[in-house]
A and B are shown apart, each in its own frame.
Chain A
Amino acid sequence: MNAAVTEAAKPATHFTGVEGMPERASGLERLSNPRELDTTHGVILYLEEITVSFDGFRAINKLNLTIDRGELRCVIGPNGAGKTTMMDVITGKTRPDSGRAFFGQTIDLTKLNEAQIAHAGIGRKFQKPTVFEYLTVFENLELAMKTDKGIWSSLFFKLSGEARSRIEEKLELIRLKEQAHRPAGLLSHGQKQWLEIGMLLMQEPQLLLLDEPAAGMTDEETERSGELFLSLAGQYTLVVVEHDMDFIKQISRKVTCLHEGSVLAEGTLEQVQNDERVIEVYLGR
C-alpha cells in the first residue's frame, strides 16, 4: 500500500469538499451538508453491512468493503453477485435498505443524491459507455469539467484558457485529440469508453468506479486502458469491476470477489484465484 501512504501524507490541497455547489442557483440543493473529504485514516470508502433487496431478492447481503486511498481494486464475481448494485449504492442511484456507506470519514453517501455525490468526488463509468452523442468530444469533456454546475453559471459560462488547456490535456491522455470536434456518437465503442473515462477525470474525482471498462475494446485498446489505470492509481483511487481475467492480471493489486451480495474472498489475484470457494462459484475447476 505504498501509494496509499504517500497519497495520504500529501495534503489534500485541490479538494475542498462540496465546493462549487450551486447554492445560489438552486435552492433545492441547500439541504446538502457540504463537508470535506477526510481520509486521515487512509481509507476512502467504507461500506458496512450494506443490504439491498429488490422484491425480497437480496442483491446485496450485509456487504462489508473498505477501499484505501490511492488503491486500484478489482472486483470480480459471477453475474448477479451484486457488483453493479454496489456501484449504484455508492453513487446514490440506489438507497440501501440497511447499512452504512461513507466516503472518507465523514461524508454519508446514503444521504446525498447522485449529483451531490459526483460533486463530493466520486466518478462513475457505466457498463454501457454513456456519452452525449450529439455533442462533440470536446463538449463532452467541457460539460464534465469540475466547476459550478448551477443553471445561471452554465448560462453565462465562458471557457477560460486554463480550462481549455485542461481539456486538451485530457484529450491527449485518452488519445482523442484528432476526434475533438466530432460528435461523440461517431466514435467507436472503445473510444466511447475512453471518452467516458476522460469525462470522469475532468470531474477531478477522488474515487473512480469503473464498470467493465474494457468491454468491447480490442486487445490493444484493453492493454492501453490497463496502462492508463495503472498510471492513475495513487493519484486517484480506482475500483474496477471486470470479467476479463487477463485484464485483471495486468492491472490487479488487490482483488475482491463478490458472490450473492457479499464478499467471498479478498487478497492478491493469486490468493483469490486459489481460494477454494472462488474456484467453486466463479472460476470453475
Chain B
Amino acid sequence: MNKTLTERLFGPKAWTALAAFAAVMLIVVPVLNLAVPEGNPLHLSTYWVTLIAKIMCYAIVALAMDLVWGYTGILSLGHGVFFALGGYAMGMYLMRAIGRDGNYQSELPDFMVFLNWKSLPWYWVGTDSFLYCMALVVLVPGVLALIFGYFAFRSRIKGVYFSIITQAMTFATMLLFFRNETGFGGNNGFTDFKRILGFPITAPSTRAALFAITAATLIAALLLARFIVTSKLGRVLAAIRDAESRVMFSGYNPLPYKLFIWVLSAVLCGIAGALFVPQVGIINPGEMSPANSIEIAIWTAVGGRGTLIGPLLGAGLINGVKSWFTVAFPEYWLYFLGLIFILVTLYLPRGVIGLISKERA
C-alpha cells in the first residue's frame, strides 16, 4: 500500500498499454482506413473512425470530470456546457469557412441570412481566423468556469447544492442558445460544414488527420492529468475532497486550488468539444441539455472515480454500448443507462477499474 491507486495504475504495464494505444490510434487506424482498399476485410470504414474519434472526445470529457469529481470531490452536473461552448467556438470558424458555398451564396452563415441579418454581430468578428477561434475554444469555457467557480467556491457552495447550480447553468445556457436572436443558429445550431483550414471536411484524409489529433490530445490530457494528480497539488485536491476544513486549518486556501482544477477541467472539455464538432459535423444546443451532463458523470462513475484510466474506460464502454443499443432498442436506452448507474453504485462503488484491480490483488 505504499502507492496511491493512481500510481499503481501507472506501472510499467500501463505505460506499455498507453504506448500500444498511441501506436494503434496514431498509426494503425489511419493506415487501415486510408491505405487498405475498401473491399479488403481489414479496411476500417469511416463510420468506425468517426465513432472512435467521438468516443475519444467523450473520454477527454470524462477525464476532465474525474479531475474535479474523482479527485477534488466537486460533482459538476454541467460539464456539457463547457464541451458545447468549445464546440460552438470551433463551429463559428467552420461556419465562416463555408464562405459563399452555403445555400444562399452569402458571406454570412445561412441562418443569419434566414433571419434577415445584414451583417455579422460583433461577437462574430474575427471568427474567420482559425487561430482566434482556437483561442476562443480555450478562453470561453475557461472564463465562464472562472467566473462561475469564483463565486460558487468563494461562497463555499458545496456538494449537492453545487451540483444543482451547475445543472441550472447548463440549462440556462441551453435556453439562451435555443433562441435564434442569440446568433448561434437557434435549435439547429451549426451544420453543413464544408472545409477546415482549406481541407474538405468529409475527405477521408482530413478525417484521419482529425482522428490522429484527437488521439494525441487524449494522450496529452491523460499525461497532464497524471502529472497533476501525482504532484503535491493532487494530494491537496484529494485532501480538500476528504476534509476541507483540515486543509484550511493547515494553512491552504482551498479557493485557488478548486478554481485551478475547475477551470482546467472546463478547458479540457472545451478542447474536446472543438475536436468533436468537425468530426461529427454538427453542434446544437442539445449538447447542453442537463441529461448530457449527467451522462458525463455516469461515464466517470462507471469507469471508477479518482483513477484517471477508469473514466476513459467508462466513456468508451458506455458510448460503445450506447451506439449499439440505440440502434437495436432505441427507446430503452435511458432505462438501460439508469440501470447501469444503479448497479454500479450498488455493487461497484469503485467502478470497472475497481473490479479489475480487485481481480489483480
Contacts and interface: CB of A to CB of B under 8 A. Distances in A.
Interface in A15-36: 22, 25-26, 28-29
Nearest to B243: A130
Interface string B246-277: 11111111111100100000000000000000
Interface residues of B, number: 27
Contact of A143 (B236, B248, B253, B255): B236
B232 A157 contact: yes
Contact of B248 (A29, A114, A181, A203): A114
11 contacts: A113-B253, A114-B249, A115-B248, A124-B249, A131-B243, A131-B246, A132-B238, A143-B236, A149-B250, A150-B256, A151-B256
B1 interface: yes
Interface size class of A (residues with CB under 8 A): 35 or more
Interface stretch (A134-142, A213-221, A250-258, A264-272): A134-142
A182 B260 contact: no
B119 interface: no
A155 B255 contact: no
Given A133-B242, A135-B235, A118 B250 contact: yes
Interface string A143-169: 110100111001111000000000000
User: 10 closest Cβ contacts across the A-B interface?
Assistant: A118-B251, A157-B232, A114-B248, A154-B233, A26-B256, A115-B253, A155-B233, A132-B239, A130-B246, A154-B232
Contacts, number: 97
A199 interface: yes
Contacts of B4: 134-135
B259 to A, nearest CB: 9
A126 B246 contact: yes
Contact of B249 (A22, A91, A151, A183): A91
Contact of A157 (B233, B247, B257): B233
Interface of B: 1-2, 4, 228, 231-233, 235-236, 238-239, 242-243, 245-257, 260
Given A135-B238, A136-B1, 12 more contacts: A26-B253, A26-B255, A93-B245, A118-B251, A143-B250, A144-B250, A149-B250, A149-B252, A150-B256, A154-B231, A155-B232, A203-B251
Nearest to B227: A155
B242 A155 contact: no
Contacts of B242: 132-135
Nearest to A93: B245
Candidate in B4, B243, B260 with the most chain A CB atoms within 10 angstroms: B243
Given A91-B249, A113-B253, A143 B235 contact: yes
A199 B250 contact: yes
A114 B252 CA distance: 8
A136 B252 CA distance: 19
A123 interface: yes
Contacts of B239: 132, 135, 143
A143 B248 CA distance: 11
B251 A146 contact: yes
A69 interface: no
A29 B253 contact: yes
Contacts of A95: none
A156 B243 CA distance: 23
Interface string A82-93: 000000000101
Contacts of A146: 251
Given A146-B251, A155-B228, A181 B1 contact: yes
Contacts of A154: 231-233, 236, 257
B249 A123 contact: yes
A119 interface: yes
A102 B8 CA distance: 47
Contacts of B257: 151, 154
Interface in A40-97: 91, 93
Nearest to A152: B233
Contacts of A182: 1
A157 B256 contact: no
Contact of A28 (B246, B248, B255): B255
Nearest to B236: A154
Interface in A192-217: 196, 199, 203
Nearest to B258: A151
B260 A151 contact: yes
Contacts of B249: 91, 114, 118, 123-124
A132 B72 CA distance: 13
Candidate in B1, B247, B251, B260 with the most chain A CB atoms within 10 angstroms: B251
A157 B230 CA distance: 11
Nearest to A183: B1
Contacts of A123: 249
A157 B246 contact: no
Contacts of B247: 143
A123 B245 CA distance: 12
A131 B251 CA distance: 14
Contacts of A26: 253, 255-256
A209 B254 CA distance: 21
B232 A132 contact: no
Nearest to B306: A134
Contacts of B1: 136, 181-183
A93 to B, nearest CB: 8
